[in-house]
Amino acid sequence: MANEMKIAPSILSADFVRLGDELGKIEDAGADMIHIDVMDGHFVPNITIGPFIVEAVRKATSLPLDVHLMIDRPDDYVSAFADAGADIITVHVEAATHLHRTIQQIKEKGKKAGVSLNPSSPLIMTECILEYVDLLLIMSVNPGFSGQKFIPSALEKIREARRMLDKIGSKAYLEVDGGIKLDNIAEVASAGADMFVSGSGVFGTQDYKKTIEEMKKRISS
Ligand code: DX5
Ligand code: ZN
């Protein structure tokens, strides 16, 4: 069973010169949480945000912070991002050698723990960890950049992930990230997702409130 639907705009597509204003606007627009993309230039070919910026974002919004770590050796950084104010910390199964330990570390810090899968990684990689996580994140683009096109095969993976979660009675969120826009969000929702990351699909539009309202309308019907 899906949870209450949540829209999590990714600030990777925000105007960083005016980040404080952007956060205010997105909160007023009805965003449910802020998705923060952390990239290290190793796990993905881009470098973005560190704990220092997460700490600044924490001060600028009251929304929960959904921190997506696209980094190698996530264990080394869980503590720093937790202390910076993350509410959810998601790590990639491809990057964490001792995933169970990493998930425990996140929980010991009092945070919600998520695991994420690249488009080429099979769901089976999450089978032994699923019962311990609060969130499963299916990537619908290859991580590294915003503004990419949604990979259609993600839909079948989302359906299968929904079946796996329901089978074990998990209440974990099923989050989808990459290429989600007004024109495909309904399809992603009917596949079984209940948390939707959108970067360019929100920040690339003129009126954030109108976009988020319309997204919510499309996933509730
Ligand atoms: C991709 C990031 C995404 C990205 C989404 O590596 O994890 O969160 O910012 O951006 P859009 O919605 O533009 O694909
Ligand atoms: Zn992300």
**Each residue of 88-120: pLDDT tens digit?**
999 999 999 999 999 999 999 999 999 999 999
In contact, 174 and 138? CB cutoff 8 Å: yes
**Phi, psi torsion values for 22, nearest 5 degrees:** -60, -40
Closest CA to 95 of 87, 85, 84, 103: 103
pLDDT at residue 50 above 90?
yes
Q: Is the pLDDT of residue 143 over 80?
A: yes
Which tens digits make up the pLDDT trace of 60-87?
Answer: 999 999 999 999 999 999 999 999 999 9
37 catalytic residue (yes or no)? yes
Residue 94: predicted pLDDT: 98
Mean pLDDT computed over every residue of the chain: 98
Task: Please tell me what DSSP assigns to residue 21.
Answer: H
pLDDT surpassing 90 at residue 221: no
Name, in order, each residue with C-beta under 8 angstroms of 179's C-beta and a sequence gap of 6 or more: 140, 141, 148, 149, 150, 151, 201
Instruction: Catalytic residue, from 32, 37, 40, 134: name it.
Output: 37
Ligand closest to 144 (CA) is 1
What are the φ/ψ torsions at residue 108 (nearest 5 degrees)? -60, -25
User: Is 83 among the residues known to form the active site?
Assistant: no
Give residues (CB < 6 A) around ligand 1: 10, 12-13, 35, 37, 68, 141, 143-148, 177-180, 197-201
Q: Which atom of ligand 1 is nearest to the CA of 46?
A: 6
Ligand 1 centroid to residue 216 C-alpha, Å? 19
- CA–CA dist 59, 2 (Å, integer): 31
Query: pLDDT tens digit string along 154-189?
Result: 999 999 999 999 999 999 999 999 999 999 999 999
d(C-alpha 47, C-alpha 193), whole Å = 28
Mutation choice for ligand 1 from 33, 34, 37, 198, CB with most ligand atoms inside 8 A: 37
Report the nearest atom of ligand 1 relative to the CA of 200.
13
Reported pTM: 0.98
Nearest bound ligand to the CA of residue 142? 1
Check residue 1 and give its pLDDT: 84
Q: What are phi and psi of 142, to 5 degrees?
A: -75, 125
Averaged pLDDT for residues 20-45: 98
